[in-house]
Amino acid sequence: MPQPVIAATGLYVPPHSISNQELVDAFNAFVASFNIENAAAIADGTVAPLQPSSAEFIEKASGIKSRHVMDKTGILDPAVMRPILPERPNDEISVLAEMAVAAANDALGRWGGDKSDIGAVICAASNMQRPYPAMAVEVQDALGLSGFAFDMNVACSSATFGLKTAADFIASGSTKAVLMVNPEICSGHLNFRDRDSHFIFGDVATAVVVSGSETAGAWRILGTRLKTQFSNNIRNNFGFLNRAAPEGIGKPDKLFVQEGRKVFKEVVPMVSDMILSHARDIGLDPRSLKRLWLHQANINMNEMIGRKVLGREPRADENVIILDTFANTSSAGSIIAFHTANNDFAAGERGLICSFGAGYSAGTVFVEKI
């Protein structure tokens, strides 16, 4: 049975970055004009005044300092507050596929393997640009790959679910190599007028080549495990049936909504227990891990999970944080962390890629440098 390895990773970083202060200035300008426009209703108590956001709160509550986005102007215009990404004609590559292809080309360049070995492309992300044809098939075509391709969405855990699927394809002999891409335009489904969540997400794309060749420098996949447990605490009700609903799409739940506190309290123990039991089941001492590449949603969550897994306070170089400059990039977060912080590993050293998010969903992938 071929042993699946992570052979290469790639990253595409969008051209614009928005600091907390820039985001807060735009939000607060929107709040000021809303409160002026609704002054009479606010005075008679029929409308509640909106509260301003704060850059200090954002950094303290989440660890986020800035985020990359595909369009900055629309997001920061208090009259618009969403990215402006013009629709492209069908004979041009779609923007989500273009980001994925850029990340894939980075990964393929680092891999140096034979592209004709890639028999499957998986596009694993939180939101696809369209239902069909699959984004993965467009990426496959743009890269001149053969075989088959399909999309999968497990919100923030899409990449680890994609990695397990790829590893299983390799182990079962379905193909010699798999390309998994994670293009995320989170700014497109974030409500920039919602004080509780306007700061949480950023845009990015990552790519991973999983192969069956144990070449030096690759990462042996020691074990993969997935878990889901239904929860309404992170939800987005946008979908094709919105236009069939007689009440229309008036409610703000057609964008990302969450009960952030509940998510925090419920997901930290779920993920910590999952990591510890998976490590135990494959005979691995979690304290021996050189590095954790965790999902990047909130620095305080990662610190708590890190403490539970390593049994002590992790050092900064053991528990990689990239959310300070990327924010939450959904499925891509743990892959960015892995991609940017792994070149100091010696053969035999081990680490953990782990995701968690809406569903709830979680995935663990233990790896060892070859």
Stretch near ligand CO8 under the rule CB under 6 A, chosen from 92-100, 186-194, 237-245, 272-280? 186-194
Stretch near ligand CO8 under the rule CB under 6 A, chosen from 111-119, 160-168, 205-213, 261-269? 261-269
Name which position in 261, 283, 343, 346 contacts ligand CO8 (CB under 6 A): 261
The least distance separating ligand CO8 from the CB of residue 278, rounded to whole angstroms, comes to: 20
Q: Helices (H) and strands (E) in the chain — how many of each?
A: 11, 13
The least distance separating ligand CO8 from the CB of residue 235, rounded to whole angstroms, comes to: 9
The least distance separating ligand CO8 from the CB of residue 286, rounded to whole angstroms, comes to: 22
Name which position in 9, 20, 258, 302 contacts ligand CO8 (CB under 6 A): 258
The least distance separating ligand CO8 from the CB of residue 271, rounded to whole angstroms, comes to: 10
Binding mask 319-348 for ligand CO8 (x = CB under 6 A): ---------x-x------------------
Rank residues 235 and 280 by Cβ distance to ligand CO8 and give the closer one.
Answer: 235
Name which position in 111, 192, 201, 219 contacts ligand CO8 (CB under 6 A): 201
Per-position b or e across 94-130, b if 16+ CB within 10 A of its CB = bbbbbbbbbbbebbbebbebeeebbbbbbbbbbbbbe
69 binds ligand CO8 (CB under 6 A): no
Closest CA to 4 of 231, 185, 162, 139: 162
User: Among all chains, which residue has been given the structure tokens 């990404």?
Assistant: 85
187 DSSP assignment? G
Name which position in 57, 228, 237, 318 contacts ligand CO8 (CB under 6 A): 57
Count how many residues are written for the chain: 370
Closest CA to 151 of 130, 176, 172: 130
Rank residues 196 and 317 by Cβ distance to ligand CO8 and give the closer one.
Answer: 196
Q: How many CB atoms lie within 10 A of CB 132?
A: 8
Sheet architecture: strand order including 177-185: 148-152, 118-124, 177-185, 203-211, 5-12, 219-228, 361-369, 350-357, 291-294
Known catalytic membership, residue 354: no
State which H helix or E strand residue 361 sits in. Answer: strand 361-369
Closest CA to 326 of 316, 336, 340, 318: 336
268 binds ligand CO8 (CB under 6 A): no
Q: How many CB atoms lie within 10 A of CB 84?
A: 12
User: Among all chains, which residue has been given the structure tokens 């379905």?
Assistant: 174
Determine which one of 123, 156, 186, 354 is catalytic. Answer: 156
34 binds ligand CO8 (CB under 6 A): no
Residues interacting with ligand CO8, by CB under 6 A? Answer: 53-54, 57-58, 61-62, 126, 155-156, 186, 189-190, 195-196, 201, 234, 256, 258, 260-261, 263-264, 297-298, 328, 330, 357-358
- Residues marked active site are found at 156
